[in-house]
Structures are given as structure tokens and as C-alpha cells.
């Protein structure tokens, strides 16, 4: 009789340990890479603009806390990185903002995206934005004539998973 109780106890313990593991979905986190490419365009000023991107992974249209990211760049430069896409993510949202300033004014623009996707598949998103400013006035040093200047910034954000 004690052999039967031992067998039942061992079977019960194995069932409690293995059933949750076997019933769990077989979704593993996927890695992702991102690139933020900034290009400053200037007729008089160099590197007067900047770009900022923020993104979040979502599950059923709700942001997954702590799973997002962000990056910034200015002038002409490229920044890149990567991370793990949460296994339960089935959506993505991002906003790319660009700003450029002259001596007396600033101009900005942004692009946003929100998409859903199959968590078992691959995913990608691209955003682009630009801003420019043209002005007249003294840049703070000797100009023989009233100075005319223009400055611009464009940025492209690409994420692949």
C-alpha cells in the first residue's frame, strides 16, 4: 500500500511541475536592431538640428511597461542599437521628432506609427521626418550685408525584428 501512495505522490508532483511548462506558449523573445540616421543641411550653420525617437512594444494595444526605447542624434550622425522584443508583443508604436533652430526661430516636425503584428513573425518599421528654417539677421558677428541663412535637419528611423 505504501508503494502505491509513493507512486501517486511522485505522479502528482511531476504533474504539478510539468503541466504548467507544457501548457505555456512556445513564444520566445526575438531580437531587434534599430538605426537613427540624421543629416544636417545648412547653407550657413552646421549641425543646428536634432532628432529624437521613442518607441514602445505593445500587447493588445497596451504599452508593455519597461519594454520601449529611445535615441537622439544631432547634425549629421548615425546611432544604432538593438534589444529583445518581448515574447508577448503583438504591437508597436513610435514617434520620430525633428527640430532645427536659427538665431531667432525654431521649426519642428514629427512622424508617428502604430502597428499590430503576429508575434511569431518578423516585424519592421521605418519613420522619416525633416524640418528647416530660413532667416535673415545678424548671426552675432560681422556681416558685410544682412546675413541670410538656412538650416535643416532630416532623420530616418528604421527598426527590424
Residue 67 sits at φ, ψ, to 5 deg, of -105, 5
Could you tell me which residues are beta bridge partners of residue 135?
149
- The pLDDT assigned to 43 comes to 55
Q: In angstroms, rounded to a whole number, what is the distance separating the alpha carbons of residues 127 and 97?
A: 10
Angstrom CA distances, 17 to 3, 13, 21, 55, 131, stand at 21, 6, 7, 37, 58
What pTM did the predictor assign? 0.74
pLDDT by residue (tens digit) across 13-58? 434 444 344 443 445 579 999 999 999 876 555 446 899 999 999 9
Parallel, antiparallel or unpaired: strands 77-85 and 91-101: unpaired
Amino acid at each position: 500500500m505504501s508503494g502505491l501512495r509513493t507512486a501517486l505522490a511522485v505522479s502528482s508532483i511531476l504533474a504539478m511541475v510539468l503541466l504548467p511548462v507544457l501548457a505555456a506558449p512556445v513564444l520566445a523573445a526575438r531580437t531587434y536592431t534599430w538605426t537613427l540616421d540624421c543629416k544636417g543641411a545648412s547653407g550657413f550653420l552646421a549641425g543646428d538640428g536634432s532628432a529624437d525617437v521613442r518607441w514602445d512594444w505593445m500587447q493588445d494595444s497596451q504599452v508593455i511597461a519597461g519594454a520601449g526605447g529611445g535615441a537622439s542624434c544631432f547634425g549629421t550622425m548615425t546611432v544604432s542599437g538593438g534589444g529583445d522584443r518581448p515574447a508577448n508583443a503583438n504591437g508597436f508604436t513610435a514617434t520620430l521628432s525633428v527640430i532645427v533652430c536659427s538665431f531667432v526661430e525654431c521649426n519642428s516636425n514629427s512622424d508617428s506609427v502604430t502597428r499590430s503584428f503576429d508575434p511569431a513573425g518578423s516585424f519592421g518599421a521605418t519613420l522619416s521626418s525633416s524640418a528647416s528654417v530660413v532667416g535673415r539677421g545678424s548671426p552675432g558677428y560681422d556681416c558685410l550685408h544682412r546675413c541670410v541663412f538656412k538650416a535643416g535637419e532630416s532623420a530616418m528611423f528604421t527598426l527590424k525584428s
